[in-house]
Chain A
Amino acid sequence: GENVEQHPSTLSVQEGDSAVIKCTYSDSASNYFPWYKQELGKRPQLIIDIRSNVGEKKDQRIAVTLNKTAKHFSLHITETQPEDSAVYFCAASINWGNQFYFGTGTSLTVIP
């Protein structure tokens, strides 16, 4: 199956700075890459996703980039705010949204 690696495992940034989380995947057939945010004790929530036919996607302060050749994708959060503090998971899917294989998670702390 797909193997997804995620770095860093923890990340602390000052409020207003940018945060970048990187993921790599192993299966070149993966074609859908969502990012989920999970606050403590709550369910994962989709924050942004990208399909393999797109190299970059942006939604306000959040952007995701995809490099299919290198098999890696990244989450960029600009102008971070304390409410961005959470665990972020990347995932890869081979079948356009079936069988998500998640990365190991990044615990982001935004320091006021």
Chain B
Amino acid sequence: GAVVSQHPSRVICKSGTSVKIECRSLDFQATTMFWYRQFPKQSLMLMATSNEGSKATYEQGVEKDKFLINHASLTLSTLTVTSAHPEDSSFYICSARTSGPLSYNEQFFGPGTRLTVL
């Protein structure tokens, strides 16, 4: 099946620093990747949609200058949390989908990254 990885799985950083999270599709080409944020015992909130080679589309209320997204290849998207603050602490999950015959509807999720900002 389709596998999506994320790195790192956990990161602790100081307030004011930037953190980069990688999302990779390991065995398929992801034309589109999505970034979600999940608070404890809450739902997944879509932050942005990332298409390879183009600018990300951000959901309403998500600061694009705060959460920088780059989708440089068909297997890699990165989310950079800039000038992180404690309120940015959360679980960030990416997902990926393909336009090929694998399943054009399904999104395959990564294992998530736990970010803690001190």
Listed in ascending order, the chain A residues whose CB lies under 8 Å from chain B are: 1, 6, 32, 34, 36, 42-46, 49, 51, 89, 93, 96-105, 107
**Chain B positions 37-73 with a Cβ under 8 Å from a chain A Cβ:** 41-46, 49, 59-60
B43, B44, B46, B105: which contacts A97 (Cβ < 8 A)? B105
Alpha-carbon separation in the docked complex, A14 to B73 (Å)? 48
A43 touches B105 (CB 8 A): no
A6, A97, A103: which contacts B107 (Cβ < 8 A)? A97
A97 touches B112 (CB 8 A): no
Q: What are the residues of chain A within 8 A of B105 when measuring CB–CB?
A: 32, 34, 49, 51, 93, 96-97
Q: What are the residues of chain A within 8 A of B111 when measuring CB–CB?
A: 42-43
Q: What are the residues of chain A within 8 A of B4 when measuring CB–CB?
A: 43
Given A1-B59, A1-B60, CB of A46 within 8 Å of CB of B43: no
Alpha-carbon separation in the docked complex, A51 to B59 (Å)? 24
Least CB distance from B88 to A in Å reads 20
